[in-house]
Amino acid sequence: MHVMLLSCCILVLLMPGPCLTAPTLMPERESSPSTEPQVDLKLATEYLQRYYNLQNDPMARIRRSGPSFTSKVKDMQIFFGLNATGVLDSVTLEVMRSPRCGVPDVEEYSHIQGTRWNKNVITYSIGRYTRDLPRNTVDSLVESAFSVWARASSLTFVRSHTRNADIMVEFVTNEHGDFYPFDGPRGTLAHAFGPGLGIGGDTHFDDDEYWTAGRTGFNLFVVAAHEFGHALGLKHSRNRESLMYPTYKSSSSANLLSIEDVANINALYSPVRGPNFFSRFSWSSQNNPWLSGSLFPLLMQNKCASDLTFDAVSTLGDATFFFKERYLWIKHNEQYDIKEGPITNFMPKIETSIDAAFWVPRRSTAYIIHESMFWTVKGSVVRGKPRLLSHFGFPALVQDVDAAVHIVKTGRTLFFTHDTYWSFNENRRVMDFGYPKYISEDFPGVNTPINAAVHKEGFIYFFIGPQVYKYDYTQKHVVGVEKANSWLGC
């Protein structure tokens, strides 16, 4: 089961008064053509590429009349109950301009939604709080939001004060470590991950929004209830009366659920006989697809095993990523919590193990390598299709690398393969002359083969088997050795 980001789509504030409607630059005549066609066309193209799987063809000119473009416009109009003309009228463009979630609306994604927890007693914990409300008010509103679903189903929600709860609730801003950065006021308000291990169920609210308990700002109770529906496995509804409809509307009623919502939650969680207490990391594999079939080894990684090794390690922004087989740990440099799960939870386009990875800070870009191919990760998103390793200037005989690390001070990326290494000039985008060279000659004390490497605070850390060698790149010698699992807090 893949865990997918299921976000609260906040489109139009449906409250009395024209000042509370999302602004638009279009004339007020319904279905009128845009007065700024190039700007509108660019907006619509980017919108449809992101949310409706419109294929990106950088070599082709953007056309509003193309069959694929028109059909995607129709798909979007149908989803939001608009007049499905395939034309970029003012109403359609107004929706496209409105704040919303980052999850695509196309049906192709529905097969990885609608999953469920394999239990009816679910724990939750509140981590970072918002600055807008007292903590006890947040606690009360979150509890009330869970109660909306508890009253309509056989579910029971128990608050935990540890970070091992099923659903972690946090208020964060901008990039916060899950590859779905927030975008400031009145953009995406919140998002939640569907049920699963690690990041599964976690629910994040954008603290750049103004959170309230009333009708001003954004009502935390209403948004949280919607998000917890996603954390329980529900997807968006096209029914405007449903709590799971993508747009925000304030409500004074404690009973937010429609008949459809009640039916859907009970279809996922039918009543059970007696309590069903499974901890987050010890589910029964008999009925849980996360622990069955080929995925079984991926979800049993023990981060504190004494013989733990990594296939690749790299910083990405303010976090460090640890890859092993098809599994991933993400550790924030300023925090103690660690997110983990199959790589596809965080990078759906990558369905393989990773051999090497490195981060180039001045481009805010990471490169993820598997055998002779690599992916580019920019702005927390995997961009485009994988490209050939030969892009870096390797000869045809080099079909894989063991590790890679970028040195900011020199502007070089070092690629390690077997007992040799290469030096790539990131400024000139060419391989340096005279390479490859032997690792043993230029990195005395470092054994081969190297599993992974990362550059931090002036040192290169070489991961070799279950050990990490701290290497002084200036003085050319090893200054310390530690266990690899110590990097995950063990």
Give me the percent of the chain exceeding a pLDDT of 90: 32
Question: What share of residues in the chain are helix, strand, coil (percent, to 5)?
Answer: 25, 25, 50
Interval 90-94 mean pLDDT: 89
Alpha carbon distance 316, 331 (integer Å): 10
Strand order of the β-sheet with 467-472 is 452-456, 459-464, 467-472, 477-483
With b meaning 16 or more CB within 10 Å and e meaning fewer, what string describes 258-271? bebbbebbeebbee
Going by pLDDT thresholds of 50, 70 and 90, the confidence category of residue 465 is very high
Going by pLDDT thresholds of 50, 70 and 90, the confidence category of residue 481 is very high
If you count DSSP H runs as helices and E runs as strands, how many of each does the chain have, helices first?
Answer: 8, 25
Alpha carbon distance 221, 212 (integer Å): 9
Nearest residue to 40 (alpha-carbon basis) of 83, 106, 89? 89
Alpha carbon distance 286, 198 (integer Å): 20
Tokens 């060419």 — which residue? Answer: 430
Tokens 């995925």 — which residue? Answer: 295
| pLDDT 10s digits, 378-428 | 866 788 888 999 889 998 888 899 999 999 989 999 999 989 999 999 988
Highest mean pLDDT among 78-87, 267-276, 291-300: 78-87
Alpha carbon distance 206, 185 (integer Å): 8
| pLDDT 10s digits, 288-299 | 222 223 333 334
Q: Which residues are annotated as a binding site for Zn(2+)?
A: 101, 176, 178, 191, 204, 226, 230, 236, 244
Domains recognised in the chain with CATH numbers: 23-97 (1.10.101.10), 112-268 (3.40.390.10), 299-488 (2.110.10.10)
Omega prior to 37 cis, within 30 of 0: no
Who has greater pLDDT, 179 or 306?
Answer: 306
Dihedral sign of CA atoms 388, 390, 396, 402 in order: negative
The reply to whether the predicted model has a pTM over 0.75 is no
Q: How many residues comprise the chain?
A: 490
Q: Which residues are annotated as a binding site?
A: 101, 132, 166, 176, 178, 183-184, 191, 200, 202, 204, 206-207, 209, 226, 230, 236, 244, 311, 355, 357, 404
Least confident of 58-67, 79-88, 324-333: 58-67
Omega prior to 449 cis, within 30 of 0: yes
Q: Using alpha carbons, list the distances in angstroms from residue 119 to 95, 112, 303, 329, 374.
A: 38, 19, 25, 25, 39
Strands 167-172 and 203-206: parallel
Residue 379 confidence (pLDDT): 63
Under 8 Å between Cβ of 349 and 375: yes
- Residues identified as active-site: 227
Q: Which residues are annotated as a binding site for Ca(2+)?
A: 132, 166, 183-184, 200, 202, 206-207, 209, 311, 355, 357, 404
Q: Is 191 exposed, middle or buried (0-12, 13-18, 19+ CB in 10 A)?
A: buried
Q: Is 465 exposed, middle or buried (0-12, 13-18, 19+ CB in 10 A)?
A: middle
Residue 57 confidence (pLDDT): 63
| Average of per-residue pLDDT values in the chain | 78
Residue 451 confidence (pLDDT): 95
Helix (H, G, I), strand (E, B) or coil at 177: coil
Interval 58-69 mean pLDDT: 59
Alpha carbon distance 53, 129 (integer Å): 35
Q: Using alpha carbons, list the distances in angstroms from residue 35 to 24, 28, 85, 281.
A: 12, 12, 18, 55
Under 8 Å between Cβ of 204 and 178: yes
Interval 298-326 mean pLDDT: 83
Helices (H), 82-241: 90-97, 135-151, 220-231
Look up residue 189 and give its two tokens. Answer: 């308000």
Look up residue 16 and give its two tokens. Answer: 């009395």
Question: How does DSSP classify residue 469?
Answer: E
Nearest residue to 420 (alpha-carbon basis) of 433, 401, 407, 393? 401
- Residue 37 above 60 pLDDT? yes
Interval 47-67 mean pLDDT: 65
Interval 79-103 mean pLDDT: 82
Under 8 Å between Cβ of 105 and 74: no
Interval 341-363 mean pLDDT: 87
Tokens 């002359």 — which residue? Answer: 433
Residue 58 confidence (pLDDT): 54
Nearest residue to 461 (alpha-carbon basis) of 378, 398, 403? 403
| pLDDT 10s digits, 205-234 | 999 989 998 888 888 998 999 889 989 988
Alpha carbon distance 449, 258 (integer Å): 59
Who has greater pLDDT, 219 or 279?
Answer: 219
Under 8 Å between Cβ of 86 and 73: yes
Nearby residues of 145 by Cβ (< 8 Å), 6 or more positions away? 220, 221, 224, 225, 227, 228
